[in-house]
Amino acid sequence: MTILAVRDLVVSYGRIEAVRGVSLEVPVAGIATVIGANGAGKSTLLNAIMGLLPAQGGIAFDGRDLHDVPVEDRVAGGLCLVPERRELFGAMTVEDNLRLGAFRAGRDRSGSDLEAVYARFPRLKERRRQLAATLSGGERQMLAIGRALMSRPRLLMLDEPSLGLAPLIVKEIFEIVRELRASGISILLIEQNARAALQIADAAYVLELGEVTMHGPAAQVASDPRVEAVYLGAAET
């Protein structure tokens, strides 16, 4: 079963097609990853699915056609994006950033959901009165994910969650992603760290210059000689 089905998606900036004919699926309570180099169109793809960019083609979330569905309704329906830049409010406290995640979903979820996020991220509870701008890179990523969880997403889209983080923190973030899948949340993971992404994903897509050039089970994609040479060869084991 799939929770997200994208068919022949095209996203253009003027006359330039940044995404061309992309099709992909995210399994229910599974992880699909899209790997590719900078400029491949990965973030553009997520922004189009979220409704932040106009697109042609089909996007179905849990069987519902998202054509002309506003962003806020997509969030209310269980679709959530954690952007590459995290977009936290640095002058607000950790707790206020989290509460804003519930507010943006259009629901009052400031009680049990907040405690659930703190249980998953104890460091955020310790720093709940700190300004978001004072957090480390790893803590900011945890806050961005925690804020998204406040909206009770059914599908969480993560754009480069390991970007700029130290290797030990990267391992921690990917373990969190595994735990989220185990809790029943479906995940669409965009990553340049192909090795780490392919190790935890169920399905994988290789995006190059706006087009899917390879897809299949993650283990199968990871073992492809071209993927090994281009995306895995220089990575640490």
**Is 12 among the domain residues?**
yes
Whether 85 is in a domain gets the answer no
Main-chain phi, psi angles of 221, to 5 degrees: -65, -40
Residues in the chain: 237
Q: What is the pLDDT of residue 157?
A: 98
Give tens-digit pLDDT for 84-134: 888 899 999 999 999 998 876 555 555 688 999 999 999 999 999 999 999
- How many structural domains does the chain have? 1
Residue 93 maps to a domain: no
Q: Which domain holds residue 219?
A: 1-69+156-161+189-237
User: Residue 44 maps to which CATH number?
Assistant: 3.40.50.300
Q: Where are the alpha helices (DSSP H) in 70-209?
A: 71-76, 94-104, 112-120, 122-126, 137-149, 167-182, 194-200
Residue at 77 is within a domain:
no
pLDDT tens-digit map of 59-93: 999 999 999 999 999 999 999 999 988 889 999 99
Q: Is residue 107 part of a domain?
A: no
Q: Is 62 contained in some domain?
A: yes
pLDDT confidence of residue 110: 57
